[in-house]
A and B are shown apart, each in its own frame.
Chain A
């Protein structure tokens, strides 16, 4: 809290997660601690990756940001407001756009248009604004709006459903996007387009992107920082490239190995004297060249 001229005003923007613990079925059969004392914060304009193997707690964490789940203990604060039962969830969902791991879980409109317009209408926008924002969003995910708008979203192909779900949050222009494996099921071109779009969107709107993925490459292309979960505990939190350059415990965490460093490590194991503390392809190639230059002819 900052006191300015006697008015108390919260200037804590962004997301702050403090000691978040989530226990499913608390004090019931099948009680399960899915998150254990997680803490991190994300500032406006940041991309923040959530990495970890199957069942490590990623989706559970994501659902705390827009109030689909509430902490068993600890706190989640979004733009200064603590997420808890009874807070203004409509306000929260306006701020936080979420794409679920499986898009079927969030598609219920009768037509693609209704589906994408749903959030905007809820917020009371005029039909004119709704029309133009829906069109724009459908275009952005690669659809021809006129060809798709009257279709039933549940009778689309897998990738088309994912694009509709993405269009839904793009139309809302939310300042926080929580994306649970948003590119799975997209074809290669669409995947690249969506990644490019997200990078630009983040910059242009100073938006926060919480990005859940199994692809380290995608994580590194969208996010600078991130958290790594293992069985509900946070193994690491901070700068991502740094983690993958300095550590090797990712080998045991069911996460994708950093491919270029992985190659460098293989070369080193085979006996080449190469510096493996690299992350990009260019760095790898430079290191290989350097290693060859030491040969005296």
Chain B
């Protein structure tokens, strides 16, 4: 669906190749894929996101959607990609919550009935429906963030990029966002790229891409990533609690295998317990 070939980028034209923000990034993205993009501050993640959605143009290399080249910034191309930023103030308009979410669909001249239904479904799935008549500027930080997500999600872009879009959300809201995007992934084959530094979020995805000083240093399945302690260390990730607890329990001879979910840990412990009694 999308292919990046040897992409270079810099914010200043005259920067030498080796000091650029992106230095030869190549990757491909298929329909319905769910990727975590990780890397240190300043490694180029947001820049890469903007390249993918056509907000920035590579200084070298190509970004190819299916067959066409977006290097020339095809007008209208942006609706293919929905980018959600960390700071919602950059993408929320004035008016009410409902108007904000309807805005994009209105521009696409979506039939009224369909538009109303989509807006309601999206607001309900993010638990914002009871705030639908609220002026957007009166929302709390997290509520605004959810609204920004709703306004993009409602457009059902082919590819959804969440640039640290859930960092300021509470626990439940994070769950609601995850459910909402997983639904889109399943029903519409929407590809998801989440930029994150949360191991729990990484675990809910399928593939990890690690960006380091503008280069891709790692690109593999999440299951392999979790077992690769060298790469986990490099970026500073701690194992999720269940994993490290299960490792400790193995050390104490209570269980025999590493567990990757809480349920798995509970089941395994229970099994061992019953086996021994």
Q: Mark B241-269, 1 if CB is under 8 A from A, else 0.
A: 11011001100101000000011011101
- Counting chain A CB atoms within 10 Å of each CB, the highest count among B11, B40, B238, B242 belongs to B40
Is the CB–CB distance between A255 and B171 below 8 Å? Answer: yes
Residues of A within 8 A of B241 (CB): 259-260, 263, 281
Is the CB–CB distance between B269 and A187 below 8 Å? Answer: no
A30-B138, A59-B140, A188-B197 in contact; A295/B276 too (CB < 8 A)? yes
Residues of B within 8 A of A256 (CB): 170-171
Asked if A292 is at the interface of the complex by the 8 Å CB criterion, the answer is: yes
Asked if A10 is at the interface of the complex by the 8 Å CB criterion, the answer is: no
A254-B171, A263-B241 in contact; A102/B41 too (CB < 8 A)? no
Asked if A81 is at the interface of the complex by the 8 Å CB criterion, the answer is: no
Asked if B27 is at the interface of the complex by the 8 Å CB criterion, the answer is: no
Asked if B71 is at the interface of the complex by the 8 Å CB criterion, the answer is: no
**Within the complex, which residue of B41, B171, B235, B270 is in contact with A158, where a contact is CB–CB below 8 Å?**
B41
Asked if B79 is at the interface of the complex by the 8 Å CB criterion, the answer is: no
Asked if A235 is at the interface of the complex by the 8 Å CB criterion, the answer is: no
Bound-state Cα–Cα, A165 to B141, Å: 17
Is the CB–CB distance between B41 and A190 below 8 Å? Answer: yes
Bound-state Cα–Cα, A281 to B239, Å: 13
Bound-state Cα–Cα, A62 to B85, Å: 24
A104-B87, A266-B266 in contact; A55/B142 too (CB < 8 A)? yes
Is the CB–CB distance between A288 and B269 below 8 Å? Answer: yes
A54-B173, A186-B197, A284-B245 in contact; A266/B263 too (CB < 8 A)? yes
Is the CB–CB distance between B276 and A292 below 8 Å? Answer: yes
Residues of A within 8 A of B265 (CB): 263
Chain B interface residue count, CB cutoff 8 Å, equals: 52
Asked if B231 is at the interface of the complex by the 8 Å CB criterion, the answer is: no
A158-B46, A284-B245 in contact; A184/B254 too (CB < 8 A)? no
Bound-state Cα–Cα, A190 to B197, Å: 11
Is the CB–CB distance between A285 and B248 below 8 Å? Answer: yes
Is the CB–CB distance between A104 and B269 below 8 Å? Answer: no
Which of A108-116, A120-128, A166-174, A267-275 lies at the binding interface? A267-275
**Within the complex, which residue of A53, A104, A184, A270 is in contact with B270, where a contact is CB–CB below 8 Å?**
A270
Is the CB–CB distance between A272 and B270 below 8 Å? Answer: yes
Asked if A36 is at the interface of the complex by the 8 Å CB criterion, the answer is: no
Asked if A291 is at the interface of the complex by the 8 Å CB criterion, the answer is: yes
Bound-state Cα–Cα, A32 to B134, Å: 11
Is the CB–CB distance between A188 and B249 below 8 Å? Answer: no
A54-B169, A214-B168, A281-B245 in contact; A159/B42 too (CB < 8 A)? yes
Residues of A within 8 A of B95 (CB): none
Task: Determine how close the nearest CB of chain A comes to the CB of B199; give it in whole angstroms.
Answer: 9
Is the CB–CB distance between A272 and B164 below 8 Å? Answer: no
Is the CB–CB distance between B168 and A101 below 8 Å? Answer: yes
Is the CB–CB distance between B41 and A186 below 8 Å? Answer: yes
Task: Determine how close the nearest CB of chain B comes to the CB of A98; give it in whole angstroms.
Answer: 14
Residues of B within 8 A of A277 (CB): none
Chain A interface residue count, CB cutoff 8 Å, equals: 53
Bound-state Cα–Cα, A141 to B170, Å: 25
Asked if A74 is at the interface of the complex by the 8 Å CB criterion, the answer is: no
Task: Determine how close the nearest CB of chain B comes to the CB of A242; give it in whole angstroms.
Answer: 20
Q: Mark B195-230, 1 if CB is under 8 A from A, else 0.
A: 001000000000000000000000000000000000
- Closest residue of chain B to A105 (Cβ to Cβ) is B89
- Closest residue of chain B to A289 (Cβ to Cβ) is B252
Asked if A192 is at the interface of the complex by the 8 Å CB criterion, the answer is: yes
Is the CB–CB distance between B41 and A187 below 8 Å? Answer: yes
- Closest residue of chain A to B42 (Cβ to Cβ) is A157
**Within the complex, which residue of A30, A55, A156, A288 is in contact with B254, where a contact is CB–CB below 8 Å?**
A288
Asked if A257 is at the interface of the complex by the 8 Å CB criterion, the answer is: yes
Task: Determine how close the nearest CB of chain B comes to the CB of A271; give it in whole angstroms.
Answer: 6
Asked if B73 is at the interface of the complex by the 8 Å CB criterion, the answer is: no
Residues of A within 8 A of B183 (CB): none
Interface residues of A in 157-213 (CB under 8 A from B): 157-160, 163, 181, 184-192
Task: Determine how close the nearest CB of chain B comes to the CB of A224; give it in whole angstroms.
Answer: 22
- Closest residue of chain A to B41 (Cβ to Cβ) is A159
Interface residues of B in 32-53 (CB under 8 A from A): 39-42, 46
Residues of A within 8 A of B181 (CB): none
**Within the complex, which residue of A55, A160, A270, A288 is in contact with B249, where a contact is CB–CB below 8 Å?**
A288
- CB-CB nearest 6 A-B residue pairs: A159-B41, A54-B142, A188-B236, A184-B167, A55-B140, A254-B172
Q: Can you list 23 contacts pairing A with B, beta carbon distance less than 8 Å?
A: A30-B135, A52-B170, A53-B170, A54-B142, A101-B141, A102-B141, A104-B89, A105-B89, A158-B87, A160-B42, A184-B86, A186-B197, A187-B40, A188-B197, A188-B238, A214-B170, A263-B242, A272-B270, A272-B273, A281-B241, A285-B248, A285-B249, A289-B252
Residues of B within 8 A of A (CB): 11, 39-42, 46, 86-87, 89-90, 134-135, 138-143, 146, 163-164, 167-173, 197, 235-238, 241-242, 244-245, 248-249, 252, 254, 262-263, 265-267, 269-270, 272-273, 276-277
Given A101-B168, A281-B241, 18 other A-B residues pairs in contact with their CB atoms under 8 A:
A54-B140, A54-B170, A104-B89, A155-B11, A156-B42, A158-B164, A181-B167, A181-B168, A184-B164, A254-B170, A259-B241, A263-B241, A263-B245, A270-B270, A272-B266, A281-B245, A285-B245, A285-B252
